[in-house]
Amino acid sequence: MSSEIELKQLIVEIGKRMWTRNFIAANDGNITVKLNDNEILTTPTGVSKGFMNTQMIIKVDLKGKIISDSKNYNPSSELKMHLEVYKERPDIYSVVHAHPVYATSFAVAGIPLNKCVLTEAIILIGAVPLVKYGFPSTMEIPDAIREHVKNSDALLLENHGALTYGSDLLNAYYKMETLEHTASIMWNAIQLGNVNVLSEYERDRLLALRSNLGLQERVTPCDSTPMSVNKTSINNK
């Protein structure tokens, strides 16, 4: 098990990766890691995740109360959203929130990423639902995600961004990469005028493979019905 300082260092590293990959801009995004049943490490609010250091990381309890703070910094304003995930999913030990361009574009367009298109996405994140819009930093977002958290490890937040979570920080972050990679390929396929959706038979074969691999992530099976696509509209959402 990683030590607290090692986890802080990894949070800083992942923050830099998110910023470098254009998953976030300015002070966007937030990361949390669950240390144990009572303590969580969180990124600060008002700081670019591309320029963090370990002294900025704050420790809170599962209710969001500061245990040991970093001088001059406050916990992420979206901490309530992270706490809701931990509350609903005891198996989760890290949550990542970002605004990756392609995935967020689908969230703004009101289109879930729920079609059976990429094999890796079908296996690792499944159908990614669209969560109803909630006002940032309030209980509206935790209330909105609650019904989806138990069945999926990746969510699109309407007019906001994306949320992924997993058994550790790298697991949660890699799901964000998979989500954005899937969204970018979907976007390009739409521009080409066709999205080839895998059949129910192929989907079920991939889900069987997933089961054989012993993956613990929770996924909602993707939709295998065909899509009618053009550059300005998508039918059969």
Residue pLDDT, tens place only, 87-106 = 999 999 999 999 999 999 99
Confidence band of 1 (pLDDT split at 50, 70, 90): low
- Position 232 pLDDT exceeds 90: no
Q: How far apart are CA 81 and CA 109, in angstroms?
A: 22
pLDDT of amino acid 80:
97
Alpha carbon distance 117, 82 (integer Å): 29
pLDDT > 90 in the chain, percent: 89
From the candidates 6, 39, 78, 84, give the one annotated as an active-site residue.
Answer: 78
Rounded-to-10 torsion of CA 163, 175, 172, 58: -50
Residue found by looking up tokens 């058994």 in the block:
167
* Whether the model pTM is above 0.85: yes
Q: Is 78 a catalytic residue?
A: yes
Which sign, positive or negative, has the C-alpha torsion 174, 178, 184, 187?
negative
DSSP string, 86-140: HHH-TT--EEEEE--HHHHHHHHHT--B-BS--HHHHHHT-SBPEEPP--TTSTH
Place 2 in a pLDDT band, splitting at 50, 70 and 90.
confident
Give the CATH class of 4-213.
alpha beta
Mind giving me the DSSP string for 129-185?
PEEPP--TTSTHHHHHHHHHHTT-SEEEETTTEEEEEESSHHHHHHHHHHHHHHHHH
Report residue 76: phi and psi, to 5°.
-50, 140
Question: Considering the chain, what is the average pLDDT of its residues?
Answer: 94
pLDDT band at 174 (very low <50, low <70, confident <90, very high): very high
User: What kind and span of H or E run contains 68?
Assistant: strand 66-68
pLDDT of residue 237: 52
pLDDT recorded at residue 72: 86
Tens-digit pLDDT profile for residues 176-223: 999 999 999 999 999 999 999 999 999 999 999 999 998 888 999 999
